[in-house]
Amino acid sequence: MKQLCFAFALIFAPLSVAAQEEAFTTFNASEITEEQFLWIARPIVVFADTEADPRFAQQLALLEAQYDELLERDVIIITDTDPSEPSALREQLRPRGFAMILMAKDGTVILRKPFPWNVREISRTIDKQPLRQFEIEDRRGNAD
């Protein structure tokens, strides 16, 4: 049931953005699996060894400042700040200290950065992807 609610929220979140500003939401890596977002969303996984890492706080602030741009691109934010209890994503992606990792809807890693990155650059990276190009063309075609 939890997976169904998550998928429902991801599918209909972009529709609600037009009606109202969506609240900045993050998911804890220990409470989410790759299957929950596969082909539904583009995860940005933000890793740190502790929540007190200034790079972690800076990255979340950058993401929150332009969250609407990320929602438009079906992005979800996943955080993991507990290396002592490794999540499935931490074991799969193997970060060293702070890392910001952008994944495609098919689960492949598009971008891996050891420092915070702004939404403008993240959006450019997403927009260059073939699936995103198809989504843009599809939305244009449906607008006619």
pLDDT value at residue 127: 96
CA 116 – CA 97 distance, rounded (Å): 12
Residue 140: pLDDT band with limits 50, 70, 90 = confident
User: What domains sit in the chain, N to C, each tagged with a CATH number?
Assistant: 2-143 (3.40.30.10)
The sign one gets for the Cα dihedral 99, 46, 3, 17 is: negative
The pLDDT of residue 95 is 97
Q: To the nearest whole number, what is the mean pLDDT of the chain?
A: 88
Spell out a b/e string for 37-70, using b for 16 or more CB atoms within 10 Å of the CB, else e. Answer: beebbbbbbbbbbeeebebbeebbebbeeebeeb
pTM passes above 0.75: yes
For 14-62, the pLDDT digits (tens) are: 544 443 568 999 999 999 998 999 999 999 999 999 999 999 999 999 9
